[in-house]
Structure 1
Amino acid sequence: MNFTRFVGKLSLLILVATVAAIAAPKERITIKGSDTMVILVQRWTEKYPNKQNLEFQVTGGGSGTGIAALINGTTDICSSSRPMKKAEIEQLKEKTGYQGLEVRVARDGLSVYVHGSNKVKQLTIEQVGKIFTGKITNWKEVGGKDARIILYSRENNSGTYEFFKEHVLNKQDFASSAQHMAGTAALINAVGKDPNAIGYGGAAYARNVKALAIAETPSSAFVKPTEKSILSGEYPISRFLYFYLSKRPEGTMKKFIDWVISPSGQKIASEVGYYPIKK
């Protein structure tokens, strides 16, 4: 073989290999659900080191929307800020023959927010519940100024909404005056602009608002949502954040989830403003 023919064949091989690499179809992992978790999940997918021939599609819509998509088979992973309900697990099993897999991926403290100028610094869970159910309507009733309390809540397809309703409102309905916001970022923005407002959301979203110290009972200590108090369980409105899958992951999916709960993935959760599942 002369030199010219050798170079020609070598160039052809390189070209074929390059075209094959470009043409290789990318595997896609879809993740849908919690608006609270969107920033965190996006950061995980951006920082995931093994992304060759892999792409992610991350969308919010609320935990309930993500769970419905998992049941209907239109997402690979559901991100949820609340546990799946028994009825939802039964629906998933009926559709897929498998009751699904729950993976705890981070911890969060559900903060109660007010405007930075509000003189109120602390509330009991009972007071918070009475405010959001409309039984307390003026700030002066909880040590603040004489002004009507403006309520901001999440939409009812939100896992944060459901968690707050169950654990703070004791499953009572929100006051009809509550304004329901599409996402935590929108809620925080509204509270940050209104001196008489109150809202709730994940601790990671605390920007330009004040998070109140919360007491579980009138005789309990008031605790602010900090890393220490959330990880220890001392802060009374703490929760896990979840990934749900319709079945046990394999291959690329398993590698991604293993990385999310590894020290590297958990470090990113801390950087975003959430807390690791283990400390």
Structure 2
Amino acid sequence: MAAWPLGYLKANARPFTVVRRDSPVTGTVLRLHGSNTIGAELAPVLLRRWVESNGNLLAPWISHAPLESAAPVQGGNPTLPARVEVFAHGSSTGIPDLVGDRADLAMLSRAPNDRELDMMRRAGAADPRGRSSETVVGLDGLAVFVNSANHVPALTPEQIGGIFTGRITDWRQVGGRPGPIQVFHRPDGSGTLETFRTLLLDGAQSPLAGTEIESSEVLSDQVSGTPGAVGFTGLAYVHNNEAVSVDECGIEYPPHPFLVKSEEYPLFRRLYMHRLPDSRNPWVEPFVRFLGSATAEDAVERAGFVNQAIELGDESITAMRRAALTNPKANSQTRGRAEESAIERMRALTDRYTRLSTTFRFDHDKDVIDAAAEDNLDRLRVFMGRPENLGRKLVVIGFASASGGDAHNLNLSRRRAHNIANRITGFGGITVAEEIGIGRNLYVACNDTESRAR
């Protein structure tokens, strides 16, 4: 059994040792296991910035097996582990390793499923989706784009899935000019492809049509040089191509980083880290606290993902939401006078206020916010305390899903707005000028799946 090196013991800390024959790392270690999307680049960057922010350095990573790496921590700060470890065998391995004491943090590029939540409860996590167990470290977005000479109308998620699985082979099938569709996509093992499968194919591993290309840069160039071509990558690789908006429930969303941050763009996902509340590892909580810092937000952006730092939307964002107010697909067909009044009030407010990137999500059909929304409240408190925002006022607008009747949804949206407004004013020094609920009208996300009807 490997003991703590001399000088790493600190007051009130229990020695934490690793006794694993299958691990290349022994001694004092912080272990992150799970998602390849997070583990390939984001986790190593976050760990390096965390170590550096505490005055030490992270030595080069050493890989002892495929997708398994470790790096020694160098320096004189005794409050850091001797080593850090990242095993990136996929999201499905994270929570089993966590509850099996093979990991200290589980990395998931999707929400935990019922089986994983039950495993965490049996391991002692009373609320595995609460703030004591779950942290959203960043957001990921996917851009679908076509050759710039091929002007394609917005595509629904179902149409995008049909194109890349070969069920749709001609652009006229989706409202474009007649001609064969040339498909380019990332290969198996790519985090980008994993994102695509999760968001558009319900995780199905069926083969995609077209040509595999390893590099996002090369894929983008191939689409720009091929008439009738289509591809998908991260948001940063659209380049000279034409990005396609995603039509979800009657609202067309362009692949704009702001809409990923506000969680309105349909092809977004959260990136999670989960922990057990009674972790014996003394570095888990300090690292989790670091994940909410400005340094960590910068690291998320530099790693190619979207961070959660609050931003102001530009006029194009406001115009998009204003236009949706008149879209019959995005609004209830049976709304009464109260809903009409709320819609008119929202239209007037969009002329005077700027959209913030923060969206507070709730448990389905309830007025209880989730763990990520709690973190966003903290971000909003800090944002409104900046000198440039002193004296500014907030408007809180509540939405509801399409389940239940219009009266139920209107009341639910009002309760949601009221709950958030109360939390904001409870900080002190922040003024909520108005709170309104508009029912199921202009919902922030489509309600066709449980995960998005929130």
Tell me the TM-score normalised to structure 2 length: 0.46
The C-alpha deviation readout for 1:152-174, integer Å capped at 9, x for no partner, is 3665997973x6446434x4856
Q: Which residue in 1 is equivalent to 2:92?
A: 64
Q: Which residue in 1 is equivalent to 2:125?
A: 98
With 189-198 and 49-58 compared, the bigger mean Cα shift is at 189-198
The C-alpha deviation readout for 1:94-137, integer Å capped at 9, x for no partner, is 4x3436421111122233355x6673565332321221343202
Q: Which residue identity is paired with 1:27?
A: T
Q: Which residue in 1 is equivalent to 2:273?
A: 243
Q: Highest relative contact order (Cα 8 Å, sep 6+), 1 or 2?
A: 1
Q: Which residue in 1 is equivalent to 2:326?
A: none
Identity of aligned residues (%): 23
- Equivalent of 1:46, from 42, 48, 64? 48
**8 Å Cα contact 1:78/1:243 also seen in 2:** yes
Query: Which stretches in structure 2 are left out of the alignment for 5+ residues?
Result: 11-25, 57-76, 311-454
Once residues 193 and 117 of structure 2 are traced to their aligned partners in structure 1, the CA distance between those partners, rounded to angstroms, is 19
Q: Which residue in 2 is equivalent to 1:77?
A: 105
Q: Which residue in 2 is equivalent to 1:150?
A: 183
Matched position secondary structure for 1:150: strand
Matched position secondary structure for 2:214: helix
Q: Which residue in 2 is equivalent to 1:4?
A: none
The C-alpha deviation readout for 1:17-41, integer Å capped at 9, x for no partner, is xx95599996211112222223121
- Which has the larger helix fraction? 1
Give the direction of change, closer, same or farther, for the CA distance of 1:93–1:113 in structure 2 (3 Å limit): farther
**8 Å Cα contact 1:113/1:209 also seen in 2:** no
Once residues 64 and 180 of structure 1 are traced to their aligned partners in structure 2, the CA distance between those partners, rounded to angstroms, is 27
**8 Å Cα contact 2:49/2:295 also seen in 1:** no
Give the direction of change, closer, same or farther, for the CA distance of 1:66–1:144 in structure 2 (3 Å limit): farther
Matched position secondary structure for 2:169: coil
Give the direction of change, closer, same or farther, for the CA distance of 1:247–1:189 in structure 2 (3 Å limit): farther
- State the shift of 1:92 in Å: 3.6
Q: Which residue identity is paired with 2:136?
A: R
Correspondences of 1:1-279 after superposition (within 5 Å): 20=6, 27-37=28-38, 38-48=40-50, 49-50=53-54, 51=56, 52=77, 53-54=80-81, 55-94=83-122, 96-98=123-125, 100=128, 101-113=133-145, 119-120=150-151, 122-139=154-171, 141-142=173-174, 143=176, 146-150=179-183, 152=185, 155=188, 161=194, 164-165=196-197, 167-169=199-201, 171=202, 173=204, 176-178=207-209, 186=214, 188=216, 191-192=219-220, 194-195=222-223, 198-203=230-235, 206=237, 210=241, 212-217=243-248, 219-221=250-252, 223-249=253-279, 251-279=282-310
Once residues 123 and 108 of structure 1 are traced to their aligned partners in structure 2, the CA distance between those partners, rounded to angstroms, is 20
- State the shift of 1:273 in Å: 2.8
Once residues 191 and 230 of structure 1 are traced to their aligned partners in structure 2, the CA distance between those partners, rounded to angstroms, is 22
RMSD: 4.0
Once residues 209 and 31 of structure 2 are traced to their aligned partners in structure 1, the CA distance between those partners, rounded to angstroms, is 33
**8 Å Cα contact 1:30/1:56 also seen in 2:** yes
Query: Which stretches in structure 1 are left out of the alignment for 5+ residues?
Result: 1-18
Once residues 213 and 177 of structure 1 are traced to their aligned partners in structure 2, the CA distance between those partners, rounded to angstroms, is 19
Matched position secondary structure for 1:78: strand
Once residues 66 and 126 of structure 1 are traced to their aligned partners in structure 2, the CA distance between those partners, rounded to angstroms, is 30
Q: State the aligned residue count.
A: 252
- Which has the larger strand fraction? 1
